[in-house]
Amino acid sequence: MRLAICALAAVFAAAPVLAQTAPSDTIVVVLEKGTTMNVISMGMVGDVAYKPDGTFSGFDGMYEGTYKVDGTKLCVTAPAVQQDNVCFEYPSGLKSGDKFKITDANIGEIEITLK
């Protein structure tokens, strides 16, 4: 019994090492306030909102799915646009109103504005 308790304690002690990295300050703003995305190649602009349950939606429901965070990376799965766990690196230190660009392999450059 004592051995089982020690083993369980060791598992709980190691759990933080196995966990994902905490979200960066920029990702925290993204999740709390959302973004506006400008898909430059398509001339489409739309808002994207992120919910605490790990889901997101945007562009009036045309872009939705699930997300995961690992430090400065936001990874999305969006079946409608054939994205499966696609990760994008978000720069640290950004605040509401700041803009940056990412490149998606399928649709090209996307300008993101933090709300």
Whole-model pTM? 0.80
Query: pLDDT value at position 48?
Result: 98
Using one digit for the tens of pLDDT, what is the confidence trace for 31-69? 999 999 999 999 999 999 999 999 999 999 999 999 999
Q: Which residue is it, tokens 């369980």?
A: 8
Q: Do residues 114 and 35 make contact, with C-beta atoms less than 8 angstroms apart? A: yes
CA distance 31 to 29: 6
CA-to-CA separations, 90 to 40, 45, 109, 110, in angstroms, rounded: 18, 19, 14, 12
Number of residues written out for the chain: 115
Give all domains of the chain, ordered by start, each with its CATH number.
20-114 (2.40.128)
Please state the rounded mean pLDDT for residues 1-24. Answer: 49
Per-residue pLDDT band for 81 (boundaries 50, 70, 90) equals confident
